[in-house]
Amino acid sequence: VVVADRGEIGQVVRTVARVCKGRPEVEEAALRVHAPVADRVPALTEVARTLQDEGIAVEDIGLRRPSLDDVFLRLTG
């Protein structure tokens, strides 16, 4: 999720954490919040719907597959 307003990034982090059941990562400079999920499309839909219901402006939202580096780091810590 790319947030439109820096002041709302905390709420986006809480929403993503609640829906994704994990700890989101934040890229402050890019106003981007992302987290791994098992059920990709349902999670994306719920995050988008929740943010819209909360009145949070979003610049972009989407899915991406993990890179080989992401997978390696997740497995090895």
The stretch 37-46 carries a mean pLDDT of 92
| Residue bearing the bigger pLDDT, 30 or 74 | 30
Give the H/E segment covering residue 17: helix 9-20
Question: What is the number of structural domains in the chain?
Answer: 1
Domain with 6 in it? 2-76
User: How confident is residue 70, by pLDDT bands cut at 50, 70 and 90?
Assistant: confident
d(CA 42, CA 33): 17
pTM for this one?
0.81
| Residue bearing the bigger pLDDT, 66 or 10 | 10
